[in-house]
Structures are given as structure tokens and as C-alpha cells.
Amino acid sequence: LYLMPADSPHPLLSLADYERAACEILDPAALSYIAGGATDEVTLRDNVAAWRRLALRPRMLVGVGRRDPSVELLGVRRPHPLLIAPTAFQRLAHRDGEIATARAAAATSTIICLSTFATTTPEALAEAVPDAPRWFQLYVFSDRGVSRDLVARAVEHGYEALVVTVDVPVAGVRERELRAGVRSLHGEQLASAAAAGASGEMTPADFGELVDPDLSWDDIERFVAESPLPVLVKGILTAEDALLAVAHGASGVIVSNHGGRQLDTVLSGADALPAIVEAAADQLDVLVDGGIRRGTDVVKALALGARAVLIGRPILCGLAVDGAQGAQRVIEILLAELDNALALAGSPQASNLDATFVMPAPWPDRSR
């Protein structure tokens, strides 16, 4: 169970270690894009802090010699509850970009969600790493033809679900990026076929402006009707919207604030989750992302009713530090911590976790 790599010169024992290492490696502009959030970054910081405001209620003497982290997701048994969140432009973190991430996904049986704004096309990824379980994340452009085309290519190349991101009708105000001068950075990544609606030199913000700000629940219903894949709506933070997702036929919602990059001072996933689970978890699958850094965070998310969790920045940090191997190691650390936490929380079956295992922490939030 102990996690230290034998004779490692850099003992990277935790996801926090990978984050620190990535901060030293990445160039400032890429770092600002990967690490930054919206305006004052209140929500960005709180995504991590919110999980620590929950305490675990461990049970003893239940027999934990064999642990089983598997969960059921969209009706399918998966070996564990981790997914790789869709993050754009992964070549900013490492030259191998999404292909490396897919290798880490394949090695650990983790679903990778490929971003519309990936620096790899959906077909290139499927061909390079055919055994990576994969979902496709869709930004819906004002030009709906682009979106339909992307969905068709995803269906054709073995993507198993469609994640429609709905919290970017316009781009957030990301001052850290602006200060670091992200504007002039991405020339070489523009070959991305995912950026089918794009042309010439573009920035993350430019991509953001391709997205249709008038996307509506009717559009979601249309995607559900037209797509052979289950549709998950990503970016939901209220019970009201989770119920609308049910009403419009979604198979799941991903409780998310877009990594704190869109509207500052909205709730973290950890805090938004319970009301959404209560309202809608009996009708669709609820997933959550944002701030998951420890196995105990995963246990808490499942105990609160999430079926699975998505990991974003830590994967990029793993990529930055050591490419596919770094991303894989990040997942392995989290899986080892999850195994340990299941044993010590007295819930050897991940799928048996329920709300009795978690409570508001009596301690104050000591994060700065």
C-alpha cells in the first residue's frame, strides 16, 4: 500500500506533489491557462477546500480484506469511479497531449473524456489508443453542422457517451491568463480537427467565442433524440437544472463549475452535489468534478451520491511532469488512496457508500 517509488529522486507521493512539480516545469503562459480560474479565483480555491469541509464517519470491524472500487455508471459496471475530465489543449501540458492521456487511461481502465478543443482529433486518438475507454465532450457551436459532424465522428470511433458542456455560453474572465499573455500562444495546436469551426491563429478565448450562447434545453433534447449515445449534461450546479436535464432526456449530469474558470463565487461541486442528488439521482446518473485530490475526496463524493468523479488539473500535472507515465501515476496514486480509504472507512465496496459515511466537518476551513 505504501506509495513511495523506490529510490525516487523526486518522491511524488500525492497529487499535490505532482501539482507542485508541474508548476516548476510548465512555462508561465501554459501554467496560467492550466492553473488559473475566473477573476478572484474564489471558486477555484474552494473546489479543493470544500472536500476538506466534509468529515468521514468510519465504521470498524466490518471485514475489509478485499476491497472492490467498482461502480455502475450509465448501466455498466466500471472497475472504479474515476474519469479523466475533458480539458482543452492538452499539448500545452506535454507534447504528447491527449494521446498520452489516453495511454494512461487505457493502462488504468479509466474513461477519458476527449474535449472538442482537444489538440488531437477524435479519430486520431481512437486509432492511437484503441483500448482507452472514451467519451466525447461536445461544445455546441453556433454553426450546428460542426457539432453534428463531431458527434458522428465520435459515434463512429467508439466513443461511448456524449458530454455536452453547458456552462460556457461565453468565456469566463480569466485574469491570470490575461496577465501571463496567453493570447499569442497556440499557433501550432491549430491543426486540431476538433477545431473544425476554427481558422487561422486562435486563443482559448477565441475558441470560447465559437460556442453558441443561445444553446437551450431544446437543443439538449434534440441531441438526446438524434444521438445513439447517452447524453450527459456537464456544468449543472442547481437541483432545478438537474430536474430539467431529467425532463429533457439526459442520461446523466456532471455537477461542475468548470474548474472555477467560468463564474467566480459559484458553489464547488462538493457543495452543489447533495441537493442535486436528492432531486434527481433516482432518475439519472450524477457525476461530479472539481477539487478531487485525495482518495478520501472520492469516498466523500460517492457517499454523497455521486456515481463517479472526474479529474482534470491533476491529470494535466501528471502529463506535464512525465507524459503518459505521469498521468498514469496520478491515477494510480488516487486509486491506491481510494483503496486505503475504503478499507479504513469500513466500506470495502465502493458502491455501498452512502450518506451515513459523511458529515459536515466540525473543523474550520484552514485553507488560504
Instruction: Give the catalytic positions in this structure.
Output: 258
Whole-angstrom Cα distance, residue 133 to residue 110? 7
Whole-angstrom Cα distance, residue 97 to residue 89? 7
Please give the backbone phi and psi of residue 40, each rounded to the nearest 5 degrees, phi first: -80, 0
- Smaller CB separation from a copy of itself, 167 or 285: 167
CB of residue 334 to a copy of itself, shortest distance in Å: 11
Distances, alpha carbon 24 to alpha carbons 17, 144, 145, 320, 322, in Å = 11, 41, 41, 10, 13
Among 76, 178, 191, 247, binds a copy of itself (CB under 8 A): 178
The span of 26-34, 73-81, 111-119, 358-366 binding a copy of itself (CB under 8 A) equals 358-366
Which residues 286-325 are close enough to bind a copy of itself by CB under 8 A?
Answer: 294-296
Q: What is the largest CA-CA distance in the chain?
A: 62
Beta bridge partners of residue 231, listed in sequence order: 162
- Smaller CB separation from a copy of itself, 340 or 351: 340
Whole-angstrom Cα distance, residue 165 to residue 86? 10
Set of cell numbers at residue 70: 467498482
Residue 198 interacts with a copy of itself (CB under 8 A): yes or no? no
Residue 24 interacts with a copy of itself (CB under 8 A): yes or no? no
CB of residue 43 to a copy of itself, shortest distance in Å: 9
Instruction: Build a one-symbol-per-residue string for 223-262: x at contacts with a copy of itself by CB under 8 A, - elsewhere.
Output: ----------x-xxxx-xx--x-----------------x
Residues 167, 298, 85: CA angle, nearest 5 degrees: 35
The span of 6-14, 95-103, 110-118, 144-152 binding a copy of itself (CB under 8 A) equals 6-14
Residue 329 interacts with a copy of itself (CB under 8 A): yes or no? no
Distances, alpha carbon 260 to alpha carbons 4, 114, 347, in Å = 31, 19, 31
- Smaller CB separation from a copy of itself, 14 or 349: 14
Please give the backbone phi and psi of residue 276, each rounded to the nearest 5 degrees, phi first: -70, -40
Instruction: Build a one-symbol-per-residue string for 46-85: x at contacts with a copy of itself by CB under 8 A, - elsewhere.
Output: x--xx-xxxxxxxxxxxxxx--------------------
Residue 169 interacts with a copy of itself (CB under 8 A): yes or no? yes
Which residues 113-132 are close enough to bind a copy of itself by CB under 8 A?
Answer: none
